[in-house]
A and B are shown apart, each in its own frame.
Chain A
Amino acid sequence: MKTELSVSAIKNGTVIDHIAAGQVQRVLAILNLSKYEEQIYFGANLESKKYGKKGIIKVSNKFFAPEDINKIALVSPTATQIEIRDYNVTKKEQVEIPNEIDGFVKCINPNCITNHEQVPTHFDVVDKKEIVLKCRYCEKNTGKGNIEFI
């Protein structure tokens, strides 16, 4: 059986593989790719031996700083980042939960200033294992089960 994915290879850029099922759109949003003008291929609900179903995104001529790519660990800790240069894999790494999360998670506290005025959210990740985010503003913790995206 042919195991190759039906998504074209890229010459230079980044492949984000093993994205958790149903999170491709979210990952595109977190990485702010909606306005990116070069080629982007993405696939969802692809077969994965390891995870059952997965998503994949290939972005031409784009390399991500660790603090940016690691943001997606919040929605897809299984994702791997693969850097491609001249059709060759030059780096392959699983994403890691970053120390800080900016801008795309909502604070759980209804009385937090970020939920009332135009203040971008900012969290320190105080527990990477359980995923606990501490709001820089109201100092309240938002836990894994309560994470909502802006």
Chain B
Amino acid sequence: MADNTSPMVPTFTNLFGISRSSLRARLQNLDTISNDLANVNTTGYKSVRGNFQELLNDSLQNSGTRLESTQRIMTQGTMQSSDSPYNMAIQGNGFFAVTLPNGSTAYTRDGTFGLDADRKIVTADGYPLVWSGTQIPEDVESFTVSPQGLISVYQDGEWTDIGTMKLYRFANPTGLTANGKNLFLASDASGAVLEGDPGVNGYGEVITKMVEGSNVNLAEEMTDMVVTQRSYQFSMRVYQQTDQMLGLALALRR
């Protein structure tokens, strides 16, 4: 007979449990794929990958598979040119820092900044960018940021430096907590925030009149979607078949 200590104890409960874990993991993976597809045109969006893992357990219902974690893929998105001088993109590693209404700091790759009524540099949602100054002087004719983060304005026929901006990095950017609206928060998994000047020590450069598009690869996501749907279908077949087998076993004695 089969070894009794084997984790794969053949019972109907275990069998249904395996198929159920598979169906659930596939649905969760489909959620991450849907979210990626929905954000194929979201500036600064970083795609998410689901990591599957095999489960093996003596407690009968816990074998099968699970979606252990979702992992953000931090590759560079495509650069798209923009007319606004307040739009910026990061070429390389790092994040912009913005201040949330509650005073805490969030990090983003979405550089679609603009000026608000108080002449502050703000995100599309109105969160101010963290830089050495606060407001842009009135009556500026032009605005630019150097790749090294030096912020200058053109006023009365000359360029004036009004401040600098820093970029922010994490040991494990894939571990940042997503906060919606393209914002990320530091977490235990990401490690403490590191601050640095753009363009040096591995920090990316700031490029104005550019925004970083989504890094979602449409063809890859579509392929993943098809594979996930097929795996779901396959596990559903096993589930149905197990149901039939249970029916047959029960019908042994009418």
A and B physically associate: no
List residues of chain B with CB under 8 Å of any chain A CB. Answer: none
